[in-house]
Amino acid sequence: MIELNNIEKYHPAKGIKHYVLRHVSASIASGEFVSVMGPSGAGKSTLLNILGMLEEPTYGTYHFMGEDITSMNERKRIELYRNHIGFVFQAYHLIDEMTVQENIEAPLIYKKIVASERKSRVADLLDRFNMVAKKDLFPSQLSGGQQQLVGIARALVAEPSLILADEPTGNLQSAQAAEIMSLFRKLNREEGITIVQVTHSEKNAQYGNRILTIEDGVVRTDTPVAGQL
Amino acid sequence: MFKLNIRIALRSLLRNKPAALINITGLTIGLTACLMLLLYVTYERNFDRHDARTTRVYGVMTNVPDGKGGITATFDGTTTALAPMLRQSLPALEAVCRLSYGSIRLIASGEHAFKKEARFAEPEIFQMYGYRFLSGDSTTALADPHSVVLTASMAKTLFGRLDVTGSRLRYQDQYDLKVTAVIEDLPLNSSNRFDYLMPWLFYETVDPSAKELNWTNYSFITLLKLKPGIAPETVNKSLVTLLKSSGSDSEQPHFIFPLQRLHLYGKFEQGRSVGGDIEQVRLFTALALGILLLACINFMNLATARAGRRAREVGVKKTLGADRRSLVFQFLTESMVLCLISVALAVALAELLIPAFNSLLRVQLNVGYFNGTTWLALLAIVLFTGILAGSYPAFYLSSFNVIGSLKRNAPLRRFLPFSMRQVLVVVQFCFAVSLIVATLVIYKQISYIKNRPLGVEVQALVEMPLEGNLKTRFELFKKRLLASGAVSAMYQSSVKLAHHSSNFTDIRWPGMQAAVNRVMFNKVGTGYDFIKTNGIKMLAGRDFSPALPTDSGGVLLSARAAKIMGLKDPLGKVIQVMGERRTVIGVFADYVWDEPAKTNNPMVVQMEPLRGGSMTMRLNTAHSLEDNIAAISKIAREMNPAYPVELSFMNQVYAGKLESERLLGLLSRIFGGLAILISCLGLYGLVSFSAEQRTREFGVRRVLGATLLNIMQLLSAAFLKLIAVALVIAVPLSCALMNTWLQGFEFHTSVSFWTIAVATLLTLALALVTIGLQAVQAARANPVDALKYE
Ligand SMILES: Nc1ncnc2c1ncn2[C@@H]1O[C@H](COP(=O)(O)OP(=O)(O)OP(=O)(O)O)[C@@H](O)[C@H]1O
Ligand SMILES: [Mg+2]
């Protein structure tokens, strides 16, 4: 699904190339659950942003589902966001002016799905995440864990094939974190959704089936998870 | 999605109440101004356009030559001889109509007498104006010399009902007339209005000057209706040749001007239309749109100031698959929602303000004036406002890239050393400062003209029309008033003191160079005590004296008249006024009449047989004003029972001459006030936002030992700099602009250092108060609270 070939990324600062990623090559197959780990400032978020096409690599090629991203236009990229990629953020990034229900519904509106279909899909997700009672609340009225559940529901509603999650549990307590992680594993196993997450926690990494470690912009290790939880 | 966008827009309004309040206040004010403007422009643009037949109607205009090849004035007065000649020899004309100027005359139904506006016209008037007949018809209405046509409200006033054709009326307590038709009231926005209309044939019996066909008395209106397809230029050409061949000694060239344009474009210079009421329409348009623009700027500024917060939303939505168009659309929806709320409020507000506005501009607007086009225009204004206010924030915000906006506190991009927001604040304050300068200069000019010596002692001076029995019994009336002690001196004259309508050129004097005089002179026909009553200063000679019978052939010259004639020692010289020889017995100092800011025509004052006109009286200040008025009224009612007593105070008459300047002053005060209010509201919003953003910084600084004053300075400096820039730009510009305005007056004040100082200080003070209010709050906040925040 994802083919990274010799990706480089640097920020030019006062004439000096400040490298964030160097010679990153990796491939992620459909149905994998990959955890990216590494020290702070290593370039994990940058890598994820490149995967999500939010940032462009300075060098190298990136093929997503067989297509070359670097030569892709804006319109096509928006198509990918609408149909194939869901984002989950550490800071949830729900829209304050929208209720839980509206937040989940938003991607479907952009995808131009008809109202009846939207309603039933949102109802399904609310049901599945046990949030029916909270559907008319605003994000500020929810706990952090609940907000992240809404964030994940929002990422799932358009039925993406890839979920990119940057420290999805970074702001949560361990009990809540475990809940989110089992949800990810379930989505990965039962629905075959490919997941790439950035995490600082060994324990969370064990929910996936592969761990990439990055240090100073270079992939240090790439190991399968032995006894998956 | 549209419904969701509106829901979100309303929620975000509620979440940001102060910003919403500032925006709605500003937009409501701006839209109210625009709404009023729309009504006003509709009213003005429809002047004389109520009926399709008026499109081919032209008024004959007269140019007044200045004797040096130029034209001093252009007006719509023509002679009695013109119309019959045109009727005979210009086949391009469908109809020609002579019409009198309106004058307030007595009309009575039995005991009920009223003074209302009367006009005389030839029956062709019905081909020019589309009057709607409630009874009677256009073929018979003015056929009989003793007929009269009433407007509906005139009929109601006189009889209390409308079906009054055939009823009798008495005109000027002298002539019996029969009502032949009742027509619907004429719209206020039509020229040549009247309350009742009488036939020209009757005019000829009332006023001999209307009967005699002459080429010298320009006191009548001539209207023409061209045949379809005839170009006015061809008529103008024929006019010139016709006038030459007709052998009239009239040197004043005529031209025709469309009746429908006369109201808006009726100001002429050198015989060319150079504007007119359209200037007022334009001024008002500029002011109303300016106010709306200020409100839009507030919206843009507050929206982009919050950009940091909204950026995150934009970023997230982009990752959800939103394209730029849908984001732009969302932000525009927000500004549209705000506009719709404001326009609803504005309609209500306009409804409340219309009465005041009507009395202010002397117009009659109501929302009933709204027709399909006006509503469309209103819709257009709302859309325009929404897009104007919303588009910059929409395109600005939707352009954020995802990564930048999702990172916390990412600094926003900047292309220039200053932001759009700063530019807009400067624009706002430029507008406000200019209006302050304008207000001050107009005020100064009005007081300058007011304080100019009038040359007449206007206090305790009153005037009253000379009409009815008093015309024949004036001497007795004068004697009785003087005996009563209410009046210390009085005179009668052919024209009012402050307005002289009788201009003429037929005058000769010893040593005159040209063969024919071309300078317009003005003539006042009077009896004794003209100088004494008015308190006018004599420069040489004396007033008319009853002791010297030869004074009936005497004449007084104004200083300007003596100067134009170039007479070294005018006393005793014999001049010829309209063919009559008269001896100069005195020269008096010029006094102000007609336009107070202009040098008036040279004047001659002479004894003339009493023909009616006006009486001017000096009240005896030994008695109270009330007693004087009561005494005058009692005697007038006794001697002239058919007429009401109408006394006007000369100081008010003179004050009324500054009406249009007063109006301009009022407009600039109102709009200036609103501009400052809206700009300061916007400033308040920006300062409070900046204070909120810097809460933590201020907290840290306070902990590090910064004083309250330091913090206030920190917060205010940036904004005060903008105000200073606005002042530097706007003050010289507006001063230059107002200087040109002042040049339009012959007598004018100047823009002084004080004007500039007051405008500058006032603006700075208002801005300081606005900023200070916020700054104090921000600086006072407990630093611990501020630091706990994050
Ligand atoms: N716009 C930029 N300009 C310059 N340097 C940048 C920019 N964005 C990121 N960096 C640098 O790139 C490096 C990698 O950042 P990145 O956010 O990918 O790290 P990370 O591995 O996600 O760290 P963390 O675990 O703290 O989230 C950092 O050293 C950061 O300073
Ligand atoms: Mg990171």
Asked if B313's CB is within 8 angstroms of A81's CB, the reply is no
A164 contacts in chain B (CB < 8 Å): none
How close are the terminal C-alpha atoms of chain A, in Å?
24
Q: Are B8 and A107 a contacting pair at CB < 8 A?
A: no
Q: What is the per-residue pLDDT across B147-167, written as a single tens digit (0 to 9) for each?
A: 999 999 999 999 999 999 999
What integer best gives the mean pLDDT of chain A?
90
Cβ contacts below 8 Å, chain A against chain B, sum to 57
Q: Identify the pLDDT of residue B87.
A: 92
Give CA–CA dist B332/B382, Å, rounded.
Answer: 12
Instruction: Tell whether A190 is within 8 A of chain B (Cβ).
Output: no
Taking CB atoms and an 8 Å cutoff, what residues of chain A touch B409? none
If one counts the domains in chain B, the total is 3
Q: Give the range of the structural domain holding residue B216, as residue numbers without chain letter.
A: 52-262
Euclidean distance between CA atoms B607 and B580, whole angstroms: 12
Sign of CA dihedral B561, B566, B568, B574: negative
Query: Is A78 in contact with B321 (Cβ distance < 8 A)?
Result: yes
Same domain as B616, residue B481: yes
At B63 the pLDDT is 86
Confidence of residue B397 (pLDDT cuts 50, 70, 90): confident
The partner residues of A86 in beta bridges, in order of sequence, read: A163
The per-residue pLDDT of chain B, averaged, comes to: 86
* Average pLDDT estimate for B712-730: 89
Comparing CA positions, the residue from B51, B101, B104, B50 lying closest to residue B78 is B101
Pocket test for ligand 1, best of A8, A10, A16, A45 (most atoms within 8 A of CB): A45
pLDDT at B518 over 80: no
Q: Is B689 helix (H, G, I), strand (E, B) or coil?
A: helix
User: In the prediction, which pLDDT does B790 show?
Assistant: 37
Instruction: Say whether pLDDT at B42 is over 70.
Output: yes
Atom 17 (ligand 1) nearest CA: A45
Rounded average pLDDT over B764-773 = 88
Residues from chain A that touch B8, judged by Cβ atoms under 8 A, are 95, 97-98, 102
Task: Kindly state whether residues B642 and B663 are assigned to the same domain.
Answer: no
User: Does some domain include residue B645?
Assistant: yes
Residue B7 lies in a domain: yes
- Give which of B294, B244, B203 is closest to B681, Cα–Cα: B294
Instruction: Kindly report whether the global pTM for this prediction surpasses the value 0.95.
Output: no
Cβ–Cβ contact B402 with A under 8 A: yes
What is the mean pLDDT of the segment spanning B408-416?
Answer: 49
Closest CA to B701 of B787, B573, B579: B787
**What's B54's DSSP letter?**
G
Please indicate if any CB of chain B lies within 8 Å of the CB of A4: no
pLDDT value of residue B378 = 81
Is the pLDDT at B300 greater than 60, yes or no?
A: yes
Nearest residue of chain A to residue B9 (CA atoms): A97
The 10 Å Cβ neighbour count of residue B473 is: 14
Q: With an 8 Å Cβ cutoff, are A110 and B323 in contact?
A: yes
Q: Are residues B82 and B61 in the same domain?
A: yes
The verdict on residue B597 lying in a domain is yes
| Closest residue in A to B402 (Cα–Cα) | A54
Residues 106-125, chain A: which have Cβ within 8 Å of B? 106-107, 109-111
Pair (B206, B120) in one structural domain: yes
Q: Which of residues 7-26 of B touch A (CB under 8 A)?
A: 7-8, 11-12, 15
Considering all CA atoms of chain A, what is the largest pairwise distance in Å, rounded to the nearest integer? Answer: 56
Task: Kindly list the residues from chain A whose CB atom is less than 8 angstroms away from the CB atom of residue B317.
Answer: 95, 106, 110
pLDDT exceeding 70 applies to what percent of chain B?
95
Of B603, B625, B653, which marks where a domain is finished? B653
Q: Residue B417's pLDDT is what? A: 58
Assess B404–A contact: CB distance below 8 Å, yes or no: no
C-alpha B256/C-alpha B96 separation (Å) is: 12
- Where among B262, B292, B319 does a domain terminate? B262
Residue B14's pLDDT is 87
User: Has residue B268 been placed in a domain?
Assistant: no
What ipTM does this complex have? 0.88
Whether A96 and chain B come into contact, CB under 8 Å, resolves to: yes
Cα A147 to ligand 2 centre (Å)? 20
A55 touches chain B (CB under 8 A): yes
| Alpha helices for B744-780 (secondary structure H) | 753-780
Q: Is residue B511 domain-shared with residue B635, that is, in the same domain?
A: yes
Pocket test for ligand 1, best of A18, A20, A166 (most atoms within 8 A of CB): A20
Residue (of B684, B675, B676) closest to B22 by Cα position: B684
Q: How much is the average pLDDT of A189-201?
A: 93
Residue B759: inside a domain, yes or no?
yes
Of A55-64, A201-210, B10-19, B253-262, minimum mean pLDDT range? B10-19
Last residue of a domain, one of B232, B262, B292: B262
Domain match, B62 and B199 both: yes
Same domain, B289 and B322: yes
Looking at the structure, do residues B234 and B311 belong to the same domain, yes or no? no
Instruction: Tell me the backbone φ, ψ of residue B634, rounded to 5 degrees.
Output: -60, -50
pLDDT for the residue numbered B789: 42
Buried b / exposed e across B698-735, counting CB within 10 Å, b at 16+?
bbebbeeebeeeebbebbbeebeebbbbbbebbbeebb
Indicate whether B718 and B781 sit together in one domain: yes
Q: Alpha-carbon distance B7 to B596, whole Å?
A: 60
Nearest beta carbon to residue B403 from set A49, A96, A110: A49
Contact B567, B555 (CB under 8 A): no
Asked if B194 and B117 touch (Cβ cutoff 8 Å), the reply is: yes
Ligand 1 atom with minimal separation from the A39 CA: 25
Report CB contact under 8 Å: A95, B317: yes
- DSSP state, residue B368: G
Whose alpha carbon is nearest atom 5 of ligand 1? A11
**Co-location of B404 and B476 in the same domain:** no
Residue from A97, A111, A119 to probe the interface with B (highest B Cβ count within 10 Å): A97
> What φ, ψ does residue B49 adopt, rounded to 5°?
-115, 25
- Residue A198 Cα, ligand 1 centroid: separation in angstroms? 13
| Cα separation, B56 vs B89, whole angstroms | 19
Instruction: Quote the ligand 1 centre to B184 CA distance (angstroms).
Output: 82
Kindly list the residues from chain A whose CB atom is less than 8 angstroms away from the CB atom of residue B312.
93
Domains of chain A: 2-224 (3.40.50.300)
Asked if B315 has any chain A CB less than 8 Å from its own CB, the reply is yes
**pLDDT score for B367:** 66
Q: Is A40 in the pocket of ligand 1 (CB under 6 A)?
A: yes
Residue B649 sits in the same domain as residue B668: no
Asked whether residue B237 is domain-assigned, the answer is yes
Closest residue in B to A156 (Cα–Cα): B320
Q: How far apart are CA A111 and CA A88, in angstroms?
A: 18
Higher-pLDDT residue of B594 and B473 is: B473
Nearest neighbour of A82 by CB, restricted to B8, B321, B406 = B321
Per-residue confidence (pLDDT) for residue B29, from 0 to 100: 92
pLDDT > 90 in chain A, percent = 59
Is residue A44 within 8 Å of residue A70, measured between CB atoms?
A: no
**Ligand 1 pocket member A48 (CB < 6 A):** no
Ligand 1 site, residue A45, Cβ cutoff 6 A: yes
Question: How far is the C-alpha of B554 from the C-alpha of B572, rounded, in Å?
Answer: 9
Q: Which of A8, A10, A18 to mutate to test the pocket of ligand 1 (most atoms within 8 A of CB)?
A: A18
Q: What is the dihedral of CA B209, B210, B215, B221, to 10 degrees?
A: 130
Measured CA to CA, the distance from residue B626 to residue B277 in angstroms comes to 40
pLDDT of residue B409: 47
Residue B274 lies in a domain: no
pLDDT tens-digit map of B441-488: 988 988 888 888 888 898 899 999 998 889 889 999 999 999 999 999
Average confidence (pLDDT) over B719-732: 93
In this structure, which amino acid lies at residue B19? A
B267 in any annotated domain: no
B13 shares its domain with B80: no
The region of weakest confidence among B289-293, B584-588, B774-778 is B774-778
pLDDT mean over B514-539? 87
A11 Cβ closer than 6 Å to some ligand 1 atom? yes
Chain length of chain B: 790
Contact between A109 and B15 using a beta-carbon 8 Å cutoff: no
pLDDT over 90 (residue A136)? yes
Is there a contact between B560 and B548 (Cβ–Cβ < 8 Å)? no
Is residue B249 over pLDDT 70?
A: no
Chain B hits for A49, CB-CB cut-off 8 Å, are 403
> Is A43 close to ligand 1, i.e. is its CB under 6 Å away?
yes
Minimal-distance CA residue to ligand 1 atom 12: A20
The average pLDDT across B71-95 equals: 89
Binned at pLDDT 50, 70 and 90, residue A97 comes out as confident
